[in-house]
Amino acid sequence: MVKAHASVLADQVEDFPRWYQDVLDKAQLADNGPVRGTMVIRPYAYGIWERMQAAVDGRIKAAGAENVYLPLFIPQSYLEREAEHVDGFSPELAVVTHAGGKELSEPVVVRPTSETIFGELMAKWVQSYRDLPLLLNQWANVVRWEMRPRTFLRTSEFLWQEGHTAHATREEAAAYARRIHLEVYRSFLEDVLAIPVLMGDKSPAERFAGAVNTMTCEAMMVDGKALQMATSHELGQNFAKAFGIGFTDSEGAVQDCWTTSWGSSTRMLGGLIMSHGDNTGLRLPPAIAPVQLVIVPVRDDGRVLAAAARLREELEEAGVRVKIDERLTTGFGRRVTEWELKGVPLRIEIGPRDLEQGVATLVRRDTGSKAPVTLSETSALIPGLLTEIQHAMFQEAQRRLTDHTVETTDPAEAKEAAQAGFARIRWDLLGEAGERTLNGSAITVRCLQTEDGGLPAPDARPEELFAVVGRSY
Amino acid sequence: MVKAHASVLADQVEDFPRWYQDVLDKAQLADNGPVRGTMVIRPYAYGIWERMQAAVDGRIKAAGAENVYLPLFIPQSYLEREAEHVDGFSPELAVVTHAGGKELSEPVVVRPTSETIFGELMAKWVQSYRDLPLLLNQWANVVRWEMRPRTFLRTSEFLWQEGHTAHATREEAAAYARRIHLEVYRSFLEDVLAIPVLMGDKSPAERFAGAVNTMTCEAMMVDGKALQMATSHELGQNFAKAFGIGFTDSEGAVQDCWTTSWGSSTRMLGGLIMSHGDNTGLRLPPAIAPVQLVIVPVRDDGRVLAAAARLREELEEAGVRVKIDERLTTGFGRRVTEWELKGVPLRIEIGPRDLEQGVATLVRRDTGSKAPVTLSETSALIPGLLTEIQHAMFQEAQRRLTDHTVETTDPAEAKEAAQAGFARIRWDLLGEAGERTLNGSAITVRCLQTEDGGLPAPDARPEELFAVVGRSY
């Protein structure tokens, strides 16, 4: 058995940012684009993104929303309509001034979000209470110029989905945003990506501009820093008033709608890497892994590849995503290193001698454990093992989150604890003044939650809430 | 039974362009975006596009290609590298001159295709014969500024897939391009969209800049005009030489690769509408229809909706995509008109009196035929009927194509025939001079094919080829 070369990557503890960059590179996940801040998503990472999209999209459709596609280009005047918006995005905008071989009479902005066009269209599409709820979502690229780009986490262009919905009542809008947050985002992040997420509301200072409430899913990376994985906003009637999204109710009176918006992006790829990766590379939870099991023949004597093909067939029938590494002119150790880098959950190593005895070696990527398996029993064994790995990876991440979250009772203690993970502190003991102080040390309030870690009720009082604070990406 | 109001749409024969615009509008397929030439793809049309994407993507993956995502922005200098390219696109480019709040030192172009970035990356990713073939594809938005936009057919922004592959030999590249053309495009267009397509090569004048051969799928719309649905290019070694895509062969010698590219776009939505639509609206082939069967209760007496729900469950178990129109406060006739506009292949109308007798009325959108069905037998009947409709719609389009394609023996006759459809003429009787003459009357060579309508062999002589000429979108 050849051990993977740990030296391929920088050490996570010594230099986490460098480790992250090494994984992107060596696992062939991403390249930099020729324009600063842009990225090339390579086939292996894009395959993961396709699975993310499918899982999130399926959940969005199950919640009743339909997909649309809106234009990339937005007239500059649209972004001047809502003042808060311009302040939020202006330095991040990419502006098209020339097209069709001449200067445009009005410059056109490359969408930083499609919010303003959604606003325009929703105002047009909603007339009567019969048109409500209007539940829309879009998968698209957006552009926000980045001065300090980091692949997947902050790039000048990224891929995302943004949902926008309009409802007749505040209660209905609030319930729908909460449903999306729990049934789409939390479910996907925890059940598919095996990333435990803290549920909570953003503090007023961290809230999305124009929102009356922003719910967030906060995850803890291997280095103890937070990554915001998805957010869901209740926009009250603010957005509807700004865009004129009104409806005639069943009594004939005209009312403003109550709207929501919610989004997740290719940033989740960064979160996946930094939640589960180790010094040997990526570790993919089976539910998201494009390849769940790779068969690596040590060498072929004319029978090994044939046996591998039979095994693949059996495994595929059992619903497992399998690949055979047939690059026999490449050294076995090098091939093993590559699959470990790519985080394939299970590996079966098989050579002529194994085959004679009807066995092979089964290696788990999450634990590194190796054990002999009887070939004839393998396909019956694997699906259950994949489920076990999925569960074990979630548990491991959950333990890290728990072990590195300290309950504190004063801001100074919270600041100290936030150097190595998260701190929880009663919101009335921290307050907005305490939050500003922590911000000065690059520590932010990640979310406000109930004592037992749930989403706060709409009428929760400050003294019932707990702030989770930490450093973040 | 209430008949749909034909007056909702302009008449196809009297004003086809107006009919097309009416369908986009009344069937709620698309809106114009706020920036001229851009479009909003509404949920119903986007649902069709999602099914198109899934079907094309599945075929692309079956052909071994992998998806990637490349940046939206391209440095302007990239487009100056290949002179032919600039000439082809320059007036169509949208140029970002400002970003991050200031003027960029080098303007950035919004991709009209990702070809140049593919070229750069392929040069980097291909080193050895072991890296070949490299089979890549991308789904993305692209921008080509349009002076005379028409939704789906020519828009300043559209969605497409572009495949780019690199091979060690000319034969392998040619075979792969042909495989994509037949197994991805023709198979999808004919088997899923029920649109018969003419197979052939583009004439040298119509060939993609830089290609040594361009294969096309040409369809005939209801008005007799041609729509190019997809193209596949053999680029010889031209593209590889321009971008330095070379490889070291197994003997250690450095060679240029042989590359291909191939694409299809949201233009196919326009083709779908114009291939099958009639004066009542869209007609969707069952294989692409987001809803294959709609149950329209005439009114409810407390039992009709319950019966509809039971029927839906049975049909869904039989694999049918079903919707119940529960908008009982909207008039029955209006609801029927809407489903006819949206082209749902089958409709079941059911009221209290029908239910007492255990029957309903089944209406086919393609033929308009109505027949009573016994409710208990319906779910067993529908899957076979959907297959029959799929086949019938293909046959109907095939008949139109055949009936409006005239075999001719001189260019004047071909010109005359091309007013109402296509004309075929021996390529050596037309020639490039004859082609230029036809171009003066807005008639183009749609493709060159063998006598029996196949793709020409690479070494086919001009006198073996037949030109198909026609007006086109």
| pLDDT category of residue B1 using cuts at 50, 70 and 90 | very low
Please check whether residues A410 and A262 belong to one and the same domain. no
Closest alpha carbon within chain B to A29: B68
- Whether B261 shows a pLDDT value over 70: the answer reads yes
Instruction: Determine the residue type at A246.
Output: G
Q: Which two tokens stand for residue B330?
A: 């909207």
A306 in a structural domain: yes
CATH number at residue B433: 3.30.110
Residue pairs spanning A and B at CB distance below 8 A: 165
Query: Is the same domain home to A452 and A351?
Result: no
Tokens of residue A317, six digits = 């029938």
Q: What is the pLDDT of residues A325-367, one digit of tens each?
A: 999 989 999 999 999 999 999 999 999 999 999 999 999 999 9
For residue A465, being part of any structural domain is answered with yes
* In the predicted structure, residue B284 carries a pLDDT above the cut 80: yes
Buried b / exposed e over A216-239, threshold 16 CB at 10 Å, is bbbbbbbbbbbbbbbbbbbbbbbb
Assign A1 a pLDDT band (cuts: 50, 70, 90): very low
CATH number at residue B339: 3.40.50.800
**Can you tell me the ipTM of this complex?**
0.95
Output the pLDDT for position A81.
Answer: 63
Whether B328 and B371 share a structural domain: yes
Residues A256 and A308 in one domain: no
Find, among B114, B56, B88, the residue nearest to B268 by Cα. Answer: B56
| B202 shares its domain with B149 | yes
Residue from the list A67, A100, A121 with its beta carbon closest to the beta carbon of B50: A67
Mean pLDDT, rounded, for B453-461 = 93
Domain boundary among A335, A353, A384: A384
Q: How far is A233 from chain B (nearest CA, A)?
A: 22
CA distance B30 to chain A (A): 10
**pTM for the whole structure:** 0.96
- The token pair at B397 is 């389009």
Q: Mean of the pLDDT values across residues A380-399?
A: 98
Establish if A3 belongs to a structural domain.
no
Are the beta carbons of B69 and A35 separated by less than 8 Å?
no
Do B322 and B428 have their domain in common?
Answer: no
Question: How far is the C-alpha of B111 from the C-alpha of B115, rounded, in Å?
Answer: 9
The CA distances from residue A31 to A27, A39, A45, in Å, are: 11, 6, 11
Tell me what pLDDT residue B93 has.
94
The CA distance from B48 to B291, in Å, is 10
Q: How many whole angstroms separate alpha carbon B338 and alpha carbon B330?
A: 11
- Whether residue B130 and residue A327 make contact (CB cut-off 8 A), yes or no, is yes
The average pLDDT across A206-215 equals: 95
Kindly identify which residue of chain A lies nearest to residue B72, measuring between CA atoms: A157
B347 CA: distance to closest CA in chain A (Å): 22
Taking 60 as the threshold, does the pLDDT of residue A84 lie above it? no
Answer yes or no: is pLDDT of B17 > 80. yes
Q: How close is the nearest chain A Cα to the Cα of B19, in Å?
A: 22
Residue at B57: amino acid letter: D
pLDDT(B144) > 80: yes
Give the model's pLDDT for residue B91: 83
> Is there a contact between B99 and A94 if contact means CB atoms under 8 Å apart?
yes
Count the Cβ atoms, other than its own, within 10 Å of residue B205: 11
B52 vs B42: CA distance, rounded Å: 15
DSSP lists the bridge partners of residue A40 as A31
Q: Which A residues, 22 through 61, put their C-beta within 8 Å of a C-beta on chain B?
A: 31, 33-35, 38-43, 46-47, 49-50
What residue ranges in B111-156 does DSSP mark as E strands? 134-143
Tell me which chain B residues have a C-beta less than 8 angstroms from the C-beta of A110. Answer: 72, 96, 110
Domain assignment present for A1: no
Do B85 and B116 contact (CB within 8 A), yes or no? yes
pLDDT of the residue at A82? 55
* pLDDT tens by residue, A216-236: 999 999 999 999 999 999 999
Output the pLDDT for position A86: 43
- Which three-class secondary structure state does DSSP give residue B246? strand
A217 contacts chain B (CB < 8 A) = no
DSSP secondary structure letter of residue A330: S
The alpha-helical segments, DSSP class H, found in A102-220 are: 115-125, 170-179, 187
Q: Which of A115-119, A231-235, B104-108, B365-369 has the lowest mean pLDDT?
A: B104-108
- Of B33, B68, B141, Cβ closest to residue A141: B141
Nearest to A161 by CA among A227, A229, A103: A229
CB distance B130–A91 less than 8 Å? no
> What one-character DSSP code corresponds to residue A189?
I
DSSP state, A435? H
Domain assignment of residue B203, yes or no: yes
Mean predicted lDDT score pLDDT of chain B: 95
Burial tier of B148 (Cβ tally within 10 Å: 0-12, 13-18, 19+): exposed
| Boundary (domain end) residue, out of B247, B276, B305 | B276
What whole-number distance in Å separates Cα of residue A104 and Cα of residue A468?
48
pLDDT score of B215 more than 80: yes
pLDDT value of position B7: 65
The SS3 call for residue A128 is: strand
- Residue from B42, B68, B69, B323 to probe the interface with A (highest A Cβ count within 10 Å): B69
Q: Angle between the B43-62 and B267-276 helix axes, to the nearest 10 degrees? A: 110
Distance between first and last Cα of chain A: 38
List CB contacts (< 8 A) between B117 and chain A.
33-34, 40
Q: Does residue B85 have a pLDDT over 50? A: no
With the C-alpha atoms ordered B30, B33, B38, B43, is the resulting torsion angle positive or negative?
A: negative
Tell me which chain B residue has its CA closest to the CA of residue A290. B66
Task: Assess if residue A76 is contained within a domain.
Answer: yes
Cα dihedral B351→B355→B357→B360 (10° resolution): 60
Query: In this structure, is residue B396 part of a structural domain?
Result: no
Residues of A in contact with B70 (CB under 8 A): 33, 40-41
Choose among B40, B47, B108: nearest Cβ to A35.
B108
Q: Cβ contact (<8 Å) for A73 and B156?
A: yes
- Greatest alpha-carbon span in chain B: 82
Tell me the average pLDDT across A306-331. Answer: 96
- Asked whether the beta carbons of residue B67 and residue A50 sit closer than 8 angstroms, the reply is yes
Residue B83 contacts by C-beta under 8 Å, 6 or more apart in sequence?
none
CA distance A148 to chain B (A): 11
Query: Using a CB-CB distance cutoff of 8 angstroms, which residues of chain B are in contact with residue A74?
Result: 34-35
B97 in contact with chain A, both atoms CB, cutoff 8 A: yes
The terminus-to-terminus CA distance of chain B in angstroms comes to 38
Task: State whether A157 and B73 contact (CB < 8 Å).
Answer: yes
The two three-digit tokens of residue B220, written as one number: 């005939």
CB of B68 less than 8 A from some CB of A: yes
pLDDT of residue A60: 98
Q: Tell if the CB–CB gap between B69 and A145 is shorter than 8 Å.
A: no
For B380, counting Cβ atoms within 10 Å of its Cβ (0-12 exposed, 13-18 middle, 19+ buried), the class is: exposed
User: Could B71 and A35 be called an inter-chain contact, meaning their C-beta atoms sit closer than 8 Å?
Assistant: yes
The pLDDT of A150-170, averaged and rounded, is 98
According to the model, what pLDDT value does residue A7 have? 65
- β-pairing, A157-167 vs A258-265, is antiparallel
pLDDT of amino acid A458: 87
Over the stretch B344-366, which tens digit does the pLDDT of each residue have?
A: 999 999 999 999 999 999 999 99
> What range does the domain containing A57 cover?
16-276
One domain, residues A255 and A374: no
**Domain end among B250, B276, B302:** B276
* Neighbour count for residue A303 (Cβ, 10 Å): 11
The sign of the CA dihedral B7, B13, B17, B20 is positive
Domain of residue B130, CATH code: 3.30.930.10
Among A72, A104, A142, A158, the residue to mutate for chain B (most B Cβ within 10 A): A72
Distance CA A239, CA A280 (A): 47
CB contact under 8 A, B71 and A108: no
pLDDT at B81: 63
Percent of chain B with pLDDT over 90: 93
Structure tokens that stand for A374 in this block: 């009887």
Q: Which residues on adjacent β-strands are paired with residue B233?
A: B214, B261
Q: Is residue A149 part of a domain?
A: yes
Q: How many domains does chain B have?
A: 3
Mean pLDDT computed over A61-81:
93
B212: pLDDT strictly greater than 50? yes
Q: Across the interface, which of A31, A50, A95 has its CB nearest the CB of B99?
A: A95
> What pLDDT does residue A87 have?
46
- Which tokens in the block code for residue A103? 């200067």
CA of A258: how far to CAs of A253, B237, B350, in Å? 15, 58, 36
Please report which confidence band the pLDDT of residue A404 belongs to, taking 50, 70 and 90 as the band edges: very high
Q: Alpha-carbon distance A299 to A308, whole Å?
A: 11
A224 shares a domain with A100: yes
Task: Check if the beta carbon of residue A426 is closer than 8 Å to that of residue A463.
Answer: yes
A98 vs B95: CB contact, 8 Å cut-off? yes
**CB-hemisphere CA count at 13 Å for A276?**
34
- Complete DSSP assignment for A413-468: HHHHHTTTSEEEEEHHHHHHHHHHHHHTTT-EEEEEE-TTS-PPPTT--GGG-EEE
Q: How far is B112 from chain A (nearest CA, A)?
A: 12
Which of B51, B96, B321, B326 best probes binding to A when mutated, by most A CB atoms within 10 angstroms? Answer: B96
Look at residues B351, B347, B352, B322 and name the one whose alpha carbon lies nearest to residue B335: B347
Contact A46 B69 (CB under 8 A): yes
Same domain, B130 and B29: yes
Q: Is B95's CB within 8 Å of A99's CB?
A: yes
Task: Select from A32, A40, A127 the residue whose CB has the most chain B CBs within 10 Å, as the one to mutate to test that interface.
Answer: A40
Chain A residue with CA closest to B98: the answer is: A95
Q: Do the Cβ atoms of A42 and B68 come within 8 Å?
A: yes
Instruction: Compute the distance between CA of residue B442 and CA of residue B471 in angstroms, rounded to an integer.
Output: 6
> Are the Cβ atoms of B130 and A46 closer than 8 angstroms?
no
Q: Which of residues 123-162 of A touch B (CB under 8 A)?
A: 124, 130, 136, 140-141, 143, 145, 147, 156-157, 159
Whether A29 and A149 map to the same domain: the answer is: yes
What's the rounded mean pLDDT across residues B32-48? 97
Which of B68, B107, B327 has its CB closest to that of A41? B68
CB proximity B72 to A under 8 Å: yes
Q: Tokens in use for B287?
A: 């294989």
Does residue B260 sit in the same domain as residue B144?
yes
Same domain, A43 and A177: yes
Nearby residues of B291 by Cβ (< 8 Å), 6 or more positions away: B321, B322, B323, B342, B344
* B-chain residues near A330 (CB < 8 A): 130
